[in-house]
Amino acid sequence: MTNNDTKPATDFIRSTINAHNQSGRFGGRVHTRFPPEPNGYLHIGHAFSICLNFGIAEEYGGLCNLRFDDTNPAKEEQEYIDAIIEDVRWLGFDWDDRLYFASDYFEQLYDYAVTLIKDGKAYVDQLSPDEIREYRGTLTEPGKNSPYRDRPIEENLALFEKMRNGEFGEGEAVLRTKIDMASPNINMRDPVMYRVLHTPHPRTGDAWCIYPMYDFAHGQSDSIERVTHSLCSLEYADHRPLYDWYLDALGIFHPQQIEFARLNLTYTVMSKRKLRRLVEEGHVSGWDDPRMPTISGHRRRGYTPEAIRNFCADVGVSRSNGVVEIEMLEYHLRQHLNKTSPRVMAVLNPLRVVIENYPDDLTENMEAVNNPEDEAAGTRKVPFSKVLYIERDDFMEDPPKKFYRLAPGREVRLRYAYFITCTDVIKDDDGNIIELRCTYDPETRGGTAPDGRRVKATLHWVSAEHALKAEARLYDRLFTKPNPEDDSEQDFTAFINPDSLEVRDPIYVEPSLADAQPGDRYQFERIGYFAVDPDSTGDKLVFNRTVGLRDSWAKLQKQKK
């Protein structure tokens, strides 16, 4: 596709771009950027922005930069920079050699600031931070001018240089833009451009002790990179007049800022500040805890990049804030895992079964289908022997009417193997069932009876002698209510689900998993999708339950009708 092609607009951002392409505003160019601040790990909301920015560039044959908005060294760290790069790449996007940092532009931004001072459009203010706040006014009252506002240009230039040279302490001086203290938009009331921070920066070290504010850095960085469309979330709409003001005042290349609604999800908190609290207060094991809505948490849990990208595309861009149901994300996850995950048998809550008429020392290798959705995935052998484990839930001693699985005297199918009939139930002294005795019908190998008789249930199983012991981590929602943030009295941490992690150890998995590697994904037949956790060792695999099999999204949609 060439840059000038016009795509049918599916949303307001694309129709704006189409209009620009038609009017020739950017010469048909489409150039976006994803601008994370490296003050935490990326979450699924960032994934939405990544998919949007990189996706639009791709669609229009344009480019998308990865630019770190690293203007606040007090909160930013190299660890976060590395994690963000890994996450964007994992999602499947590529910025070629266009990895940028706002800190690379510090010298240029400083020069821009000097230009504004020389034009009489910026001044050094020495009000205290409290006074600045007080002078700013409120939503209903105008602000008032600082007594330092009309300093001569020469004095401002000298003072700004002193700021840069470290001659002021934090809070003693700021550089402000001279706009309008009575503006109805508070962002336009002489916004601060530079503040003093005696904090080393992860990239520039001790080179600077003054740092530009977001508003002064962002648009100018976009302009330097010749970004055409600066897509950001709605809370920046009130900043757009300032974004435009700086670019106009400096007379430099002028990108178009366009705002869209943030992604919000039920049962999820999305701000980095709150996610950091979950980590620091020990509610989760780290930023990549599989219960976290971070990209790294999703990856560890077993999400695929495709599932996240398909979800983001399905949500689409909107101009008004809403909350998306987490079941929709899980729907896309199941869709993709169903197509791509090899099936295996694993027993999470084992009950021992002895097949009394099966030869003691025989092992048969049963042929099992790897993925019914993908013929090319082929088959594998699963060993069958006299002593097996089945799922405890698949047996009831005294079954109610609709329970069709195993019960005393009843016949069921063991998947890929034989029909078995339960003949006896063995209990311990306390009356707990510890073992079942069964018989098998050798004529039913492969799972069909020559006489055509049918059974109502097919159970999964593993051979006790051959199975591998493993650990399963079963996750539930991290919060107990859909919007943990909407309570005016209680902090969101009050709604953390105490049962969000259940560990099952040991579980038994079929021996074909012996070489499974961290990150590998499987469907445990009849149970759910699981991914191998990096905590796995050579001796023991650890599996994270990615998501169960049942489609709760379809159910939710049905309920709404």
Are 383 and 467 contacting, i.e. CB atoms less than 8 angstroms apart?
A: no
Write down the catalytic residue from 176, 203, 262, 473.
Answer: 262
Nearest-approach distance from CB 271 to Mg ion, in angstroms? 9
Min dist CB 281 to Mg ion, Å, is: 21
For the bound state, the minimum distance from the C-beta of residue 157 to Mg ion, rounded and expressed in Å, comes to: 31
From the candidates 33, 164, 195, 272, give the one annotated as an active-site residue.
272
Q: Applying CB under 6 A, does 237 fall inside the site for ligand ATP? A: no
**Residue 246 site contact among Mg ion, ligand ATP, none (CB < 5 to 8 Å, cut-off depends on kind):** none
Active site residue 364: no
- Tell me the Ramachandran region of residue 40: left when phi exceeds 0, alpha when psi lies from -120 to 50, beta otherwise: left
Among 145, 271, 349, 370, binds ligand ATP (CB under 6 A): 271
Residue 92's nearest CA partner among 55, 61, 60, 62 is: 55
Instruction: Please state, in angstroms and rounded to a whole number, the distance separating the CA atoms of residues 235 and 191.
Output: 17
How near is the Cβ of 367 to ligand ATP at its closest, in Å?
Answer: 47
Interacting residue with ligand ATP among 272, 300, 343, 386 (CB under 6 A): 272
Of the candidate residues 41, 48, 135, 303, the single one contacting ligand ATP (CB under 6 A): 48
How many degrees, rounded to 5, is the angle at CA 355 between CA 351 and CA 358? Answer: 150
Q: Does 240 bind ligand ATP (CB under 6 A)?
A: no
**Number of residues lying near Mg ion (CB under 5 A):** 1
State how far the Cα of 10 lies from the Cα of 2, in Å rounded to an integer.
19
For 144-202, give the DSSP string: ---TTTT--HHHHHHHHHHHHTT-S-TTT-EEEE-S-TT-SSGGGSS-EEEEE----BT
Per the structure block, which two tokens stand in for 460? 């999964």
- Does position 46 bind ligand ATP by CB under 6 A? yes
d(CA 524, CA 371): 11
d(CA 233, CA 320): 10
* 177 makes contact with ligand ATP (CB under 6 A): no
Distance of closest approach, residue 35 Cβ to ligand ATP, in angstroms = 5
How far, in Å, CA of 460 to CA of 439, rounded? 16
Partner whose footprint covers residue 126, from ligand ATP, Mg ion, none (CB < 5 to 8 Å by kind):
none
Please, which residue, 49 or 310, has the CB nearer to Mg ion? 49
Partner from Mg ion, ligand ATP, none contacting 262, C-beta within 5 to 8 A by type: ligand ATP
Angle, vertex CA 16, rays to CA 12 and CA 20, nearest 5:
170
25 is catalytic: no
Closest-approach residue to ligand ATP (CB): 45
Q: Name the residue among 457, 352, 347, 470 with its Cα closest to residue 399.
A: 457
- 142: its two tokens: 């105008």
Binding of ligand ATP at residue 49 (CB under 6 A)? yes
Q: Segment near ligand ATP (CB under 6 A), from 43-51, 54-62, 302-310, 550-558?
A: 43-51
User: Does residue 270 bind ligand ATP (CB under 6 A)?
Assistant: yes
Residue 26 tokens, joined: 């950017």
* Residue range at the interface with ligand ATP (CB under 6 A); choices 21-29, 33-41, 350-358, 541-549: 33-41
**Interface with ligand ATP, residue 268, by CB under 6 A:** no
Q: Toward ligand ATP, which CB reaches closer, 40 or 528?
A: 40
Output the smallest distance, CB 37 to Mg ion, in A.
5
Q: Binding of Mg ion at residue 37 (CB under 5 A)? A: yes
Name the pairing type of β-strands 256-260 and 229-233: parallel
Indicate whether 232 belongs to the interface with ligand ATP (CB under 6 A). Answer: yes
Rounded (5°) CA angle 148-154-155:
35
* Helix axes 44-59 and 305-315, enclosed angle (nearest 10): 80
Q: How far is the CB of 328 from ligand ATP (least distance, A)?
A: 15
User: Do 34 and 67 form a contact (C-beta atoms < 8 A)?
Assistant: yes
Q: Which of 256, 258, 263, 257 is nearest to 313 (CA)?
A: 263
Nearest CA-CA partner of 508 in 344, 343, 348: 348
Q: Report, in Å, the least distance between residue 210 CB and ligand ATP.
A: 21
73 binds ligand ATP (CB under 6 A): no
DSSP of 209-251, one letter per residue? SEEE-HHHHHHHHHHHTT-SEEEEEGGGGGGHHHHHHHHHHHT
Q: Is 183 in the site for ligand ATP (CB under 6 A)?
A: no
* Region near ligand ATP per CB under 6 A, out of 32-40, 123-131, 318-326, 471-479: 32-40
For residue 466, the minimal CB distance to ligand ATP (Å) is 47
Does residue 435 belong to the site contacting Mg ion (CB under 5 A)?
A: no
Single out the catalytic residue among 37, 325, 327, 485: 37
Structure tokens belonging to residue 425: 């139930």
Q: Which of 263, 284, 355, 472 binds ligand ATP (CB under 6 A)?
A: 263
Comparing CB distances to ligand ATP, the nearer of 35 and 302 is 35
Active-site residue, 98 included? no
Q: Is 45 in the site for ligand ATP (CB under 6 A)?
A: yes
Burial of residue 76, with CB atoms counted within 10 A of its CB: 0-12 exposed, 13-18 middle, 19 or more buried: buried
What is the distance between the alpha carbons of residues 104 and 111, in angstroms, rounded to a whole number? 13
- Binding residues (CB under 6 A) for ligand ATP: these are 35-37, 45-46, 48-49, 69, 232-233, 262-263, 270-272
- Binding residues (CB under 5 A) for Mg ion: these are 37
Which active-site residues does the annotation give? 37, 262, 272
